[in-house]
Amino acid sequence: MFSLKNKKAVITGGGSGIGKAISLLFAKQGAEVHIVELTQESAQSAVDEINALGGKVVSHACNVSNQQEVTATFEKIGAFNILVNNAGIAHVGKVDTTPEADFDRIMSVNVKGVYNCLFAAVPQLRNAGSGVILNMASIASWVGIPDRFAYSTAKGAVMSMTLSVAKDYINENIRCNSISPARVHTPFVDGFISKNYPDNQAEMFEKLSKSQPIGRMAKPEEVAALALFLCSDEAGFITGCDYPIDGGFIKLNN
Ligand SMILES: NC(=O)c1ccc[n+]([C@@H]2O[C@H](COP(=O)([O-])OP(=O)(O)OC[C@H]3O[C@@H](n4cnc5c(N)ncnc54)[C@H](O)[C@@H]3O)[C@@H](O)[C@H]2O)c1
């Protein structure tokens, strides 16, 4: 079960955190993994680890917010079977503390980046005869999270894009789903804690851990396991769905 043998998978932001865990697991399951990352350096540790396991991996330096770069990269990759739209960036702020430049930056990566990859991927999934798309949404797509205006706006769009694409390509053998994690312990979380709460980092880490009723953050490998299921042939009847992986955050926090 859950074999990805003879599948070609494209994973954006596959060099760190959740994307890296997905890249490693998909390679372990037999996929030829294409990591789409801002720079070769950001992809390097994942590439090294996959090579050490004897897996198949290629990295592509590409900014997902630039449509020309994305189109050229996906054309170079050619027909493929799986797209994981994972690249994303964080932002802390309420609407009145989110400057326009920050709003535009979050939209350009977390929304336009996903659109660019969907735009470039559909022809290649068609060429492969069938395909699976998995978008990285967030619990912020579902519930109000304090101080995350731009991020929540963007992740709401990711969930809507998932439904739209699932509906439009259902007759072309293309499935599209999303995952909504609560906090996952990755450089993304460490980065925004050190940037936004420099004076009380340990306290903030503890608070963010406890905000999941289960009492901790998720591990990237736990998100990767769900991604593997949704991208495998065993999930062939699943499309147009979002899967929270949240330690009870959405339904048990009351
Ligand atoms: N960590 C969490 O708590 C959490 C929770 C919910 C959702 N998510 C989402 O999961 C995804 C991955 O998060 P993570 O925690 O692994 O983050 P991370 O920062 O560890 O990794 C993100 C990767 O995306 C790459 N990236 C960023 N901008 C890019 C761009 N413009 N073009 C190409 N690559 C780019 C980065 O280089 C990095 O390697 C994001 O979409 C994030 O919003 C994370």
Quick check: 49 and 29 in contact, CB under 8 A? no
By three-state DSSP, how is residue 184 classified? strand
Q: Where are the beta strands (DSSP E) in 42-201?
A: 56-61, 82-85, 131-136, 174-181
Q: Is the CB of 13 under 6 A from ligand 1?
A: yes
Distance separating alpha carbons of residues 224 and 31, to the nearest angstrom: 14
Determine if the pTM surpasses 0.95.
yes
The secondary structure of residue 7, as a DSSP letter, is: -
Nearest to 89 by CA among 121, 45, 42, 40: 42
Q: Which residue lies with its CA nearest to atom 40 of ligand 1?
A: 88
Q: Which residue lies with its CA nearest to atom 17 of ligand 1?
A: 188
* Closest ligand 1 atom number to CA of residue 18: 16
- CATH class of the region 8-181+219-241: alpha beta
Other beta carbons within 10 angstroms of residue 174's beta carbon come to 21
Going from the Cα of 88 to the center of ligand 1, the distance in angstroms, rounded, reads 4
The per-residue pLDDT string of the chain (254 residues; one tens digit each, 9 = 90 and over) reads 999 999 999 999 999 999 999 999 999 999 999 999 999 999 999 999 999 999 999 999 999 999 999 999 999 999 999 999 999 999 999 999 999 999 999 999 999 999 999 999 999 999 999 999 999 999 999 999 999 999 999 999 999 999 999 999 999 999 999 999 999 999 888 988 999 899 999 999 999 999 999 999 999 999 999 999 999 999 999 999 999 999 999 999 98
Q: Which residue lies with its CA nearest to atom 24 of ligand 1?
A: 13
How confident is the model over 3-60, as pLDDT tens digits? 999 999 999 999 999 999 999 999 999 999 999 999 999 999 999 999 999 999 999 9
Joined together, the tokens standing for residue 246 give: 């949240």
Q: For the chain, where do the domains classified as CATH 3.40.50.720 start and end?
A: 8-181+219-241
Q: Is the CB of 112 under 6 A from ligand 1?
A: no
Going from the Cα of 178 to the center of ligand 1, the distance in angstroms, rounded, reads 15
Going from the Cα of 46 to the center of ligand 1, the distance in angstroms, rounded, reads 14
Q: Which residue lies with its CA nearest to atom 25 of ligand 1?
A: 13
- Is residue 243 annotated as a catalytic residue, yes or no? no
Going from the Cα of 171 to the center of ligand 1, the distance in angstroms, rounded, reads 31
Other beta carbons within 10 angstroms of residue 16's beta carbon come to 22
Quick check: 125 and 166 in contact, CB under 8 A? no
